[in-house]
Amino acid sequence: MSIRTRFAPSPTGHLHIGGARTALFNWLYARKHGGRFILRIEDTDLERSTRESVNAILESLAWLGLDYDEGPYFQSERFPRYREVIRRLLDEGKAYYCYCTKEELEAMRQEQLARKEKPRYDGRCRHRTEPRPGVEPVVRFRNPTEGEVVVEDLVRGRVVFANRELDDLILARADGTPTYNLTVVVDDLDMQITHVIRGDDHLNNTPRQINILRALGAQPPRYAHVPMILGEDGARLSKRHGAVSVLEYRDQGYLPEALLNYLVRLGWAHGNQEIFSIDEMIHLFDLQEINKSASTFNPSKLLWLNHHYLMHSNPLHVAHHLRWHLGRLGVDPEEGPDLVDLVLALRERTKTLAEMAKSSLVFYRDLTEFDPEAAAKYLTEEALPVLQALLERFRQLDAWEQEKLHQAVVATSEALGQKLGKVAQPLRVALTGSSVSPPIDVTLYLLGREKTLARIARAIDRILANSKPAL
């Protein structure tokens, strides 16, 4: 059997953590078994579905690297097929027209609640043969009233539903538009989906969908219902817990590999291993190893993972993503140091690409201001001879190489009889406007000869201007 999984988001907003994890689990299972991963856009809610949301979903999947083998298929383009199935079910007596008004349904519900019964449609139109004047009917599925539906869930195990507890759900609304439970069944059937991996909030839909599939003479797929993700306070995950859309994580400077690694560990584990390459995820992923209990979202853990990936990923790969973040800040990456050198210099002290890009600005933009505290402490008359000596020594260098720059700073320190810190700190402030930067030889190398000489000269002029006696 060829494995076929699907990810079927509704385009009514951006792709969030829960949906991204569902996509990842489906993608991993298909890749592990040499199967096919299908993307289906469930856009039958024509009022709330937007093209912007579709684009955001596609962009999110592309950034995460979750490539799909088929699709995207759009449910809004499949209405003729859904009508065909509804007509078949009606003709075979497996569905029927329901003429109950909203008022009648609400009265039925209130009566059931008063009797402490579970509210459900009571099937009163099951045997109606004549239309009801002035009422546009819905189409309901004629659910079996006896027996049970057994779901051999690949995560939760055996789950049994009594058919008498399942009401006759609506397949088509009064305006003819199909409902979710109908469209998903037809799509899974037509697309030959073998495994449905989705959130456990869909578990109650599963017996209904299985009954519709059986009414169509089809074999249901295997189901795996993944527990939800909670915030650290135990409540359902939301923005207030720090969970945002996939594209917002990209904008905040997370690497896609870090987010994928974090998502795969939200509910799945392989021993005590924390760090997984994509290939390891594919090789090791197993539906039976998904936890049955809910997972807890921890933003600090995600940040830790991101820093790990910044530190240990190929610098060329990190540089590729850094380039995009620099562009967002209005910087042309070609008008500054080599990006790989920049990554190597900044990755230890930054936890996100956005932070790294911001720290990089000093190497691209003109230095327009100094940190007041750092300037007051280090750009003093005492520092004047130090900066003048450094300026002269740097002018005489025949090659702008990191080792030669280091030796120039050491030689200046020795020549002036000053400790290295007394030389390096004024120089650092002169070059960056701050008392914090990468190692001084790295900072010099990344800035380049022209920027270095100009910034030291500017710092010297500042000291001289501030030291002039008032008239």
Active site residues: 239
Helix axes of 79-91 and 180-190: crossing angle, nearest 10 degrees: 100
Residue 156 and residue 271: Cα distance in Å, rounded?
20
Q: DSSP string covering 29-75, please? A: HHHHTT-EEEEEE----TTT--HHHHHHHHHHHHHHT---SEEEEEG
> Residues 445-467, buried b or exposed e (16+ Cβ, 10 A)?
bbbeeebbeebbeebbeebeeee
Q: Which two tokens stand for residue 376?
A: 């007051």
Q: Cα torsion at 82, 86, 92, 94 (round to 10°)? A: 120
Q: How far is CA 355 from the centre of its chain?
A: 18
CB neighbour list of residue 217: distance below 8 Å, 6 or more residues apart? none
* Rounded-to-integer distance, Cα 458 and Cα 386, Å: 14
- Do the Cβ atoms of 412 and 423 come closer than 8 Å? yes
Tokens at 405, concatenated:
């720059």
72 upstream amide cis, omega within 30 of 0: yes
Of 35, 286, 263, 31, give the one whose Cα is nearest residue 155.
Answer: 286
